[in-house]
């Protein structure tokens, strides 16, 4: 266990950030899943920019790798265009 006050604070703040990051990542994964299962083209086209924005934010904060975000955006765009 940490002895310094600053390292104890760092442990607390890291835990808080970890919980927030996990929530955002899980929310994005669920949104991607719902977009893939959508059959209506108009609804999918409305959801796509929102999900792309979510992926960009996760990549910017290094929660997911930037190439993973790029691959997901590409595949989702192809999926929406093929509806």
Band (pLDDT 50/70/90 cuts) for residue 3 is confident
User: Which runs of E-coded beta strand occur in the chain?
Assistant: none
Give the ranges where 38-65 is alpha helix by DSSP (H).
Answer: 41-60
Residue 11 has pLDDT above 80, yes or no: yes
Percent of the chain topping pLDDT 90 = 95
**Rounded CA gap, 3 and 22, in Å?**
27
Confidence tier at 41 by pLDDT (50, 70, 90) = very high
pTM over 0.75: yes
Percentage of residues of the chain with pLDDT beyond 70:
99
CB 32 within 8 Å of CB 51: yes
């Amino acid at each position: 266990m940490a002895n310094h006050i600053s390292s104890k604070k760092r442990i607390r703040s890291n835990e808080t950030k970890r919980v927030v990051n996990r929530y955002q990542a899980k929310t994005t994964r669920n949104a991607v899943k719902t977009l893939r299962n959508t059959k209506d083209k108009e609804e999918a086209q409305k959801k796509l920019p929102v999900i792309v924005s979510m992926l960009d934010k996760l990549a910017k904060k290094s929660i997911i790798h930037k190439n993973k975000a790029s691959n997901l955006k590409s595949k989702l765009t192809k999926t929406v265009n093929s509806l």
